[in-house]
Structure 1
Amino acid sequence: MEDKLEILRLLEENGRMDVHTLAKMVDKSEEDVQAIINKLEKEKIILSYAAVVDWSKVNDREGVTAMIDVKVTPQRGVGFDEVAERIYRFPEVKALYLVSGAYDLSVVIDGNTMSEIASFVSEKLSALDSVISTTTHFRLKTYKHDGVVFGDEDDDDKRIVVSP
């Protein structure tokens, strides 16, 4: 069990890590590690492998990301699941979370323009019967995502300089 958790942590940090390196790091054979990974994929514990991209450095890409807080009326017998399913089926939706606090759901969407996102909110999201209210926040800058720090810093020595 501990090996499985360590493999998951390592792959979450670097999904491109090869089986040979993983095996050395957890002190297991490559065959054992591959079998563990295959089982985790089959059990849908590992859902996908993704790259973290700093889109602000890609010249040809303009776009807007919005986080939308949504207050909904839960459905009898299914709670929030039914309305969540209706929302995550929209192709614009990149992520959807059930959250605690003043709102029930947090929706993350990508669009080409702010008006495209506004249209999504007014024509699709707010049009759902169980949606009571929404609040939209636009991402202005990314500092850290999935444990990766964004910025122009180089990977030089990060120790604090101490002078007498």
Structure 2
Amino acid sequence: MNDKEQELLLLIEKEGRMSEDKLAKMLDTSLDDVSEMLRSLEKRKIILGYSAIIDWTKVNVSEAVTAMIDVKVTPKRGVGFDEVAERIYRFKEVKALYLMSGTYDLSVVIEGRSMSEIANFVSEKLSTLDSVISTTSHFQLKKYKHDGVVFGEDDEGDHRMVVSP
């Protein structure tokens, strides 16, 4: 991977909606070069997708319920945590899955329409897997910041810290 590709990745990670023309200007390269780099990075599965961050509290639809599930598992000889992780991430409810250090082995992010839907997922699908020893569920109550974006903050107004003697 060359320096221009790394610079391109940093730019689109921060703002994925930039036009290829704007990216070319920022990278001081041609539009064709940017197009080719993007296609190459996508083909090599370095760029896996493009997504928008949406504040669903401002949309008149029912919000999804998000839970973080800490999972303690027994790793299998020869494959470690990979086999059970693959079984877990294949469930449609799973939005993210991480191998963690500490008390629990895996952190699973689940989305559902209700708390009971998530409870059913944990009791009927997740905890029934052979390698799963225990789970602890945490429900997301409010989102303040996600992927570097602050939620609920107005663009107007004075955001300076108040300093008093």
TM-score w.r.t. the length of structure 2 is 0.93
Return closer, same or farther for 1:125/1:141 CA change in 2, 3 Å cut-off: same
How far does the alpha carbon of each residue in 1:54-112 deviate from its partner, in whole angstroms, 9 at most, with x for none?
11112212321000000100011111111001001111001111111111111001111
Distance in 1 between residues matched to 2:127 and 2:11, nearest whole Å: 40
**2:19 maps to which residue?**
18
CA RMSD for the aligned pairs? 1.7
**1:41 maps to which residue?**
42
Deviation (angstroms), 1:152: 3.7
Q: How does 1:5-154 map to 2 (within 5 A)?
A: 5-154=6-155
Deviation (angstroms), 1:157: 6.3
Distance in 2 between residues matched to 1:77 and 1:93, nearest whole Å: 25
Return closer, same or farther for 1:70/1:9 CA change in 2, 3 Å cut-off: same
Structure 1 unmatched runs, 5+: none
Q: SS at the partner of 2:122?
A: helix
Which runs of structure 1 show a deviation greater than 6 angstroms over 4 or more consecutive aligned residues?
none
TM-score w.r.t. the length of structure 1 is 0.93
Q: SS at the partner of 1:25?
A: helix
Distance in 2 between residues matched to 1:130 and 1:160, nearest whole Å: 49
How many pairs are equivalent? 163
Distance in 1 between residues matched to 2:28 and 2:130, nearest whole Å: 54
Q: SS at the partner of 2:40?
A: helix
Structure 2 unmatched runs, 5+: none
Q: SS at the partner of 2:48?
A: coil
Distance in 2 between residues matched to 1:2 and 1:63, nearest whole Å: 40
Identity level (%): 69
